[in-house]
Amino acid sequence: MTIREARIQGAGRLKDGGIETPSLDASLLLAFILKTTRDKLILRDAETLNEDAARDFTHLLDRRLVGVCTAYILGRKEFHGLDFTVTPDVLVPRPDTETLVDAALAALPLPLTEDVPQPVLDLCTGSGAVAIALKHERPSLEVYASDISPKALAIARENARRLLGNAEAIHFLVGDLFNAAPYPLFSSITANPPYVASGEITGLTREVRGEPLEALDGGTDGLDLIRRIIADAPAHLLPGGSLLMEADPRQMAAITLILEKKEYRDIRIYQDLSGRDRVIESRVPGCAQLG
């Protein structure tokens, strides 16, 4: 069998099994087995697939067909141009979350000189995707990242080591939200907290249900963690500092009200790649004008 035939057959099996993106997934799995990339795989279409590779491919297709997401099978997921290690201990970074990174970069003024520290805290960091992408884009930032799960932080550390060249490039903190965070220190706080309403968890795809529940379940209305973050962030933000959170598009109105009650200002909503409201930014009051 040629590589092309294997790819087409594999995609067919995934399609029949109800997988949403059969061609993409089949190509990614086959490229993984052949230790190449999806782009380069096409160039090898006419080559014969040896028996061992064909057997391995069948095995990976079987795993995909029982609902294991492609990122967990590969152990990798691309996010903001970086290739992250992922395991079932962490939520798979979503393209939508790139909006959080871009909004945070836009919210942080470029310092006039490199030696002005700009500390940023990423809560619920999981694989470290947001924290590491921020540090990668702007190395002058001093990035802290916290998570309640030591297992997730082990993956985040490994990602920092591989993608930034040094696990110490980020200050990792094990703790429940702000528990381990120093204060009052931060120019900006980012968070992609669990925000799925508990009653909606069973309606998620089996792939998403294979991800850590503690990274998804946000309580009755999905806003438990978001409420706590809004309540505690002002004690950790510098005057005029920004809080940026990812949430569900349907939650934006409720979050806006909570922020307004707590006297946050300059509330702004950013859309994700599908044009849906995905990130909400707000600021704590700045310094009183002098004179």
The residues of the shown chain that bind ligand GLN, judged by CB under 6 A, are 94, 192, 194-196, 208, 216
By C-beta, is 126 or 241 nearer to ligand GLN? Answer: 126
Minimum CB separation from ligand GLN for residue 92, in Å?
Answer: 9
CA distance 280 to 251: 10
Minimum CB separation from ligand GLN for residue 159, in Å?
Answer: 18
The answer for residues whose C-beta is within 8 angstroms of residue 55's C-beta and 6 or more apart is none
Minimum CB separation from ligand GLN for residue 131, in Å?
Answer: 15
30, 11 in Cβ contact below 8 A? Answer: no
By C-beta, is 38 or 250 nearer to ligand GLN? Answer: 250
Q: Give the CA distances from residue 238 to residues 32, 52, 245, 267, in Å, rounded to whole numbers and listed in that order.
A: 45, 58, 17, 17
Minimum CB separation from ligand GLN for residue 208, in Å?
Answer: 5
By C-beta, is 274 or 289 nearer to ligand GLN? Answer: 274
The answer for residues whose C-beta is within 8 angstroms of residue 70's C-beta and 6 or more apart is 25, 28, 29, 64
79: helix, coil or strand? strand
CA distance 228 to 223: 9
By C-beta, is 119 or 218 nearer to ligand GLN? Answer: 218
Phi, psi of 229 (to 5 degrees): -65, -45
By C-beta, is 88 or 111 nearer to ligand GLN? Answer: 88
Minimum CB separation from ligand GLN for residue 231, in Å?
Answer: 19
Minimum CB separation from ligand GLN for residue 192, in Å?
Answer: 5
Query: Closest Cα partner for 248 from 195, 202, 193?
Result: 195
The answer for residues whose C-beta is within 8 angstroms of residue 274's C-beta and 6 or more apart is 96
158, 87 in Cβ contact below 8 A? Answer: no
228: helix, coil or strand? helix
By C-beta, is 59 or 276 nearer to ligand GLN? Answer: 276
The answer for residues whose C-beta is within 8 angstroms of residue 74's C-beta and 6 or more apart is 28, 29, 32
By C-beta, is 10 or 126 nearer to ligand GLN? Answer: 126
Dihedral of CA 35/126/220/229: which sign? Answer: negative
By C-beta, is 31 or 226 nearer to ligand GLN? Answer: 226
